[in-house]
Structure 1
Amino acid sequence: MRRLTMQQAEMLASKFRTENGLGQAEPVSVKTLLRKLQITAMYRPLSADSYGISCKSKTGKMFMLINSNSTRGRQHFTIAHEFYHLYFDENPTPHMCCGGASVEEKNADIFASVLLLPKEGVYAMLGKEEILQRKVKLATVLRIEQMFQVSRSMLLIRLRDIGVISENERQAMQSIPVKESALEYGYDRSLYVSANEGVTIGDFGEKARILFEEGRISEGHYLELLKMISDGREDN
């Protein structure tokens, strides 16, 4: 697989949005999309350098594990990254997402960025002078990251890649403390902290029961799966 160009990634993201009934400029609710696509997802603590994992069965059933130690914004990026592996990766083998440098990992990163931050949606939130002068205000950065529920670092990279800010401006903005600036501008800081530990999305318990009744897993394995759910909580 060759490295995706930005244009190719945007075309894939546009196709993905269209196929799932999403407008080309609106924010993506990743939890809603997980439910719609019937992807079972679990949020559990993982090591600091592991963000998540996805896999697809031979029958097409899909699963994700997301690091609940990551910030909420990072979790959203991880889920969008895994969407690429599940729907566009030519060889979607189970893997742990940990910021690798392979071509497909880079492709998944680019796809996640353009899916979560569509160019049309970003431009709509910028002032004319911000676009012309290539200098975006901190207040605007905060509005965009809160609207699209993404991390500061991801947003700044996207703004640079679409030509709205320079690399020097990206670095300068990156040095501004994230949580403190959000608080100063009146935003809550939930986007910038870890979240969702123990949450399960999907019919995990129902699937486990069916497997047990069909004799495909033992009673002990079934009880172990139920314990995983009871130790966490189902996200409704």
Structure 2
Amino acid sequence: MIDYADLMTKAERLRKQLGEDNNSPIDIFALAQGIDRLTIVYYPLGSKISGMCIKGADGRCTIALNSAMTLGRQRFSLAHELYHLFYDESMKSVCAKSIGTGNEVEKKADAFAAYFLMPRAALADKADSLISKHGGKISLQDIIRIEQYFGVSHQTAVYQLNNCGYINRDDLDTLLNISVRRQAESMGFNSDLYRPLPEEKQYCTYGHYIDQADQLLTRDIVSSGKYEELLLAAFRDDLVYGTEEGGELID
């Protein structure tokens, strides 16, 4: 049996551990890049897998995210994998595309991810505020405002609002199957949340692997040629060839 109160507590505890409060939206990608000995790989993993977590015996860990899925789904998948990293004893996990499926551990990770991205009290405060402004019942426009505020997919927002009693069961399936990108754009929101990364940016590696490659070069353990080979294997052509767009601006 899943203890949702315990998962909520774990999500709040991890947010605080990573330097965040339990009231505000978070940049989960930036938070994850600050986790010691964690490598994050963006890669198109096909249509059935949204992410995976592989833990090493020495404390090193790799999280892979399906970069062909929408940004909102990638954020959820990363939060899901953080559950496996911090609270699951298994050394390897694979996250399916559909939320709420799989064994009990996967369902726990999904619930944790939703609480991590959308703390229950913060979600309630936001929903109550919107309802008071726009009528007595939450609207599709309100749902879009909420998912944009917390940076989550439409599916995640709808499920959590249903769990909190803001959406009834009769409306759930209809709301889950609505394509909201154009609606969000017409409301003035950026639609990146509902899109995958551009194809040319779907392969990349950040975190511990890149730092370790740099350390090997700095300490003369590998040659510059081998260093570049390590970076190319991690899809970091930009660091080898200087192919990043634009230049750095000094404020």
Q: One fold, TM greater than 0.5?
A: yes
Who is 1:228 aligned against? 233
- Which letter does structure 2 place at the counterpart of 1:107? K
Who is 2:164 aligned against? 162
- d(CA) in 2 for partners of 1:129, 1:191: 20
8 A Cα contact 1:26 1:121, kept in partner: yes
| Residue 180 (structure 1) shift | 1.6
- d(CA) in 1 for partners of 2:220, 2:58: 16
Matches for 1:128-147 after TM superposition, within 5 Å: 130=131, 135-147=137-149
| Residue 94 (structure 1) shift | 1.6
Partner SS, residue 127 of structure 2: coil
8 A Cα contact 2:204 2:235, kept in partner: no
Who is 1:14 aligned against? 12
Task: Give the alignment's TM-score, normalised by structure 2.
Answer: 0.80
8 A Cα contact 1:198 1:232, kept in partner: no
Matches for 1:17-166 after TM superposition, within 5 Å: 17-38=15-36, 39-89=38-88, 91-99=89-97, 101-127=102-128, 130=131, 135-166=137-168
- Which letter does structure 1 place at the counterpart of 2:22? Q
List runs of 5+ in structure 1 lacking aligned partners.
none
Aligned length: 231
CA gap 1:222/1:233 in 2 versus in 1, 3 angstroms: closer
CA gap 1:231/1:59 in 2 versus in 1, 3 angstroms: closer
| Residue 171 (structure 1) shift | 2.2
| Residue 230 (structure 1) shift | 4.8
| Residue 210 (structure 1) shift | 5.0
CA gap 1:112/1:214 in 2 versus in 1, 3 angstroms: farther
Partner SS, residue 105 of structure 2: helix
8 A Cα contact 2:231 2:237, kept in partner: no
Q: Deviations 1:53-111 (Å, cap 9, x if unpaired)?
A: 1122222122111111010000000000000001001x222232225511111110110
CA gap 1:122/1:74 in 2 versus in 1, 3 angstroms: same
- Identity over the aligned pairs, expressed in percent? 27
Task: Give the alignment's TM-score, normalised by structure 1.
Answer: 0.85
- d(CA) in 2 for partners of 1:233, 1:43: 15
Q: Bigger CA drift: 79-88 or 175-184?
A: 175-184
- Which letter does structure 2 place at the counterpart of 1:31? F
- d(CA) in 2 for partners of 1:189, 1:64: 25
- d(CA) in 2 for partners of 1:228, 1:54: 19
8 A Cα contact 1:68 1:197, kept in partner: yes
Partner SS, residue 125 of structure 1: helix
8 A Cα contact 1:24 1:121, kept in partner: yes
Match of 2:185 among 170, 183, 186: 183
Match of 2:202 among 197, 202, 226: 197
- d(CA) in 1 for partners of 2:77, 2:188: 27
8 A Cα contact 1:156 1:174, kept in partner: yes
- d(CA) in 2 for partners of 1:157, 1:107: 14
Q: Deviations 1:157-199 (Å, cap 9, x if unpaired)?
A: 0001111211222223223321121122121211101015123
8 A Cα contact 1:199 1:233, kept in partner: no
